[in-house]
Amino acid sequence: MTDATSRRPPDEAAVRRAVAAVWRIESAHVVATLTRMSGDFDLAEELAQEAFVEALEQWPRQGVPRNGGAWLTTTAKRRLIDTWRRRERLDERYRALARDLEQQADAPGYDPDRIDDDVLRLVFTACHPVLSREARVALTLRVVGGLTTEEIARAFVVPVATVQQRIVRAKKTLGAAHVPFAVPERDEFADRLGSVLGVLYLIFNEAHSASSGEELLRPELGREALRLARMVAELVPGEPEAHGLVALMEFTAARFPARVTADGAPVLLADQDRSRWDRSAIARGRAALARADATGRGRGAYGLQAAIAECHDVAASVDDTDWERIVLLYEALGRIAPSPVVELNRAVAVSMAEGPATALRMVDDLAASGALRATHLLPSVRGELLARLGRGDEARAEFLEAAARCGNLRERAVLERKAAEAVTA
């Protein structure tokens, strides 16, 4: 490892990995600090990247500095001064900064409160509503999470050039819209925090059930979303929904170890080996939910979904699950965040609590309303209910319809198997 550099000549690959690790931990701070100083997010991101490249060049020769984050920040600040110099804008701001930098030498003052504040501004900037959802996702992973463009491309199964383009365009859009580098004012705070949490949940869901490709799970991406959600929750500790989202992710991630077989096929909730669920993740989920409740502001949509996930996670089996409670939680969720998917899930819970006949009526109403026409969810639930009612032929048709609509190859295989089983049953 890198500390062995004092004894052995530096192993370049090891130093590269060490630089990448420091980058992962510090890039958000560096970009945030530079954006505050320059008022230019695009420039700040570029300078931070240049500092990173410089670290890759220098650290293998000079060794990894004791405070890598400070090194990166200082290097990026120097480049900022050079940029200003080139632009011949020798204003007082520059002079003050240069003086400041000379005094600090290589150990810039560390003000954790200011850094937190800057990182929070960065999070809100990367998730700004003027950007498309894809752009928010890419920008958040890149500038807040410190992932490389290649890593993001790999996670979302898109070409590197596409991600690059999204990031460049996103930065231009932010610049053109004169998006301020600021934590939103009180009156729009809730909406903007909602956008931030939404982006993180989107990233997590991509890991949880990939919308395309062959891999069902992308655990690394899920962990990254969880890390960022924990980070945001610590930055805004008084916001119940931030903790609710952390809880929801923990409860969901707890089931990851049992969600696929050794050869990668998905395992349905009812068939999962619950002993493989991650108990410590469940404990952390409950702690996060308790923190959400402790704010005294009630549970929001994420808190309620977390509570539903908790019901599953603490049950010894599907039969042992408190389905009545889940039905009530879905009703509450449907009131504050109505959506056809919530209704569909409520129908599934009702089918477990009261039987498939009542649930089928709910699902038929949903179908009649024309909702969820494009996804495989509705026919797949309908197929399940029909199968339980002994209407095998109809069930088969629904499962085949669901399979045809399903983009994930692994999930499609499960639906096709169910279609085959529906007639034999």
Residues lying near other proteins in the complex (CB under 8 A) are found at 1-3, 14, 17-18, 20-22, 24-25, 66, 68, 112, 116, 220, 223-224, 226-231, 234-235, 257, 262, 273-277, 279-280, 282, 284, 314-316
Find the Cα–Cα–Cα–Cα dihedral 267, 217, 414, 411, rounded to 10°.
Answer: 150
Question: In this complex, which beta carbon is closest to other proteins, that of residue 17 or of residue 172?
Answer: 17
Is the Cβ–Cβ distance between 205 and 162 less than 8 Å? no
- The helix, strand and coil proportions of the chain, stated in percent and rounded to the nearest 5, come to 75, 0, 25
Shortest distance (Å) from residue 224 CB to other proteins: 7
* Dihedral, CA of residue 38, residue 42, residue 44 and residue 45, to nearest 10: 170
Indicate the residue among 24 and 391 with the shorter CB distance to other proteins: 24
Q: How far is the CB of 70 from other proteins (least distance, A)?
A: 12
CA angle 422, 376, 371 (to 5 degrees): 120
Residues β-bridged to residue 379: none
Which tokens in the block code for residue 240? Answer: 């119940």
Coil vs helix vs strand at 370: coil
Task: Considering the complex, state which of residue 199 and residue 226 has its C-beta at the smaller distance from other proteins.
Answer: 226
Give the shortest CB-129-to-other proteins separation in angstroms: 24
Q: How far is the CB of 232 from other proteins (least distance, A)?
A: 8
Residue 123 C-beta: closest distance to other proteins, Å = 12
Nearer to other proteins, 14 or 101 (CB): 14
Residue 245 CB, nearest approach to other proteins (Å) = 12
Question: What is the sign of the dihedral through the CA atoms of 80, 84, 85 and 91?
Answer: negative
Amino acid at 273: D
Beta carbon nearer to other proteins, 14 or 337: 14
Looking at the Cβ atoms of 14 and 397, the one nearer to other proteins is 14
Half-sphere exposure of 149 (CA within 13 A, CB side): 13
